[in-house]
Amino acid sequence: MEGGFRKHKMYIIKRRFLFWAACFIFTGLSIAGADAYYENLTGKKFKTTGEVRGVMSEDGMISVMMEREDGECIVVYWDNSTYNSLKSVLSSGNRVSAVVKVVDGGSIIGVSAERLARIIDTKKTSTLLDKNRKLSSSDLQAINVYEKTIKYFNPKLTSAEVRKISSSILTYSRLHNVDPRLVVAVIAVESDFKIDARSVKGAVGLGQLMPQTAKSLKVNPHIIEENIRGTTSYLRFCMEQWKKYPYLTVPLALAAYNAGPAAVAKHGGIPPYYETQNYVIRVMDLYAKLCSK
């Protein structure tokens, strides 16, 4: 028991080291300029083709995540007027061809875009349908473990609510390729699994989604399944922006989830806000505990 506690304590120390590394190592970098490849294209325009994976509005700019045909995900920033004229084109799920320009720091700015006909890959389509059709047998076995964990955080939940939350977490975490234990940690810190939780700033539900964020993700935050779908989708959105740094992806994504992607971009890492820094530590600590079970 003592050895296990010592091992877990060292795991926490490593997690906290990564947190502080994330705070300082990226000072002065731009979120979209993390890849030196784009910094070398400063001042140039190029055309890129791919699928729109997510759209977020923040600080007068629209961030559109595109998954290029080579599998790389990039974030393209659009000013409000340009985006509004292309809103129907830049909707999530659309396949588009966009003309973009790289500015100082490697940030990618959208210039124009057009919608393209979708190319259907039957293998990928059947795989996605299989994912959405039902939970696997291993998921069904795991549900019992997740139900006990969720019930621990909020004993007032009914059995039906617990089952709905656990199955939704497993379903959408698999769909968006996010560790379900991380989703549990985020929701636990955000709301203690209180379905009707509402913050003073207006954040709603289990994952504490802001109304504008929920609208961008096209989910109703008051419905359990949709709130969890939005939470995992937004978490994936945040993680994609830092995937070039695998050891720092999670803490930086958590900072973006709490303070917004623009704040992480502005400070080149975890912002110097007490609330955000404490939030990242709390989620990372709980995530480490869940992983050690």
Where do we find the tokens 């700033």? 201
142-163 per-position pLDDT tens digit: 778 889 999 999 999 999 999 8
Separation CA 34–CA 269 (nearest Å): 11
Closest CA to 228 of 270, 186, 280, 288: 186
Tell me which DSSP letter residue 155 carries.
Answer: T
Q: Which residue in the list 114, 161, 190, 225 is annotated as catalytic?
A: 190
240 as an active site residue: the answer is no
Which residues sit opposite 99 in a β-bridge? 47, 112
Encode pLDDT of 179-222 as tens digits: 999 999 999 999 999 999 999 999 999 999 999 889 888 899 99
CA distance 58 to 80: 10
Mean pLDDT is lowest, of 43-52, 68-77, 226-235, for 68-77
- Per domain, the residue ranges of the chain are 36-115, 123-292
pLDDT at 29 over 50: no
User: In this structure, which long-range contacts are made by residues 118-126, counting pairs with CB atoms below 8 Å and at least 24 apart in sequence?
Assistant: 119/95
Kind of pairing between the strands at 95-102 and 73-79: unpaired
For every residue of 172-195, DSSP letters joined together read HHHHTT--HHHHHHHHHHHHTT-T
CATH of 36-115 among 2.40.50.70, 1.25.40.10, 1.20.140.10, 2.40.50.140: 2.40.50.140
How far apart are the C-alpha atoms of 160 and 224, rounded to whole Å? Answer: 11
3, with CB counted inside 10 A (0-12, 13-18, 19+), is: exposed
Identity at 120, one-letter amino acid code:
I
Residue 26 above 50 pLDDT?
A: no
User: What pTM does this model have?
Assistant: 0.63
Predicted pLDDT at 226: 93
Tens digits of residue pLDDT in 159-181: 999 989 998 998 889 888 899 99
CATH of 123-292, one of 1.10.530.10, 3.40.190.10, 3.30.930.10, 3.30.70.600: 1.10.530.10
Cross-strand bridge partners of residue 49: 97
Question: What are 73-91's pLDDT values in tens digits?
Answer: 677 888 888 888 988 888 8
Q: How far apart are CA 38 and CA 46, in angstroms?
A: 11
236, amino acid identity: R
**What angle is formed at CA 189 by the lines to CA 270 and CA 195, rounded to 5 degrees?**
130
Neighbours of 265 (CB within 10 A): 27
| The pLDDT value given to residue 8 | 46
CA 254/CA 274 separation, integer angstroms: 14
Nearest 5°: the CA angle 187, 168, 246 is: 60
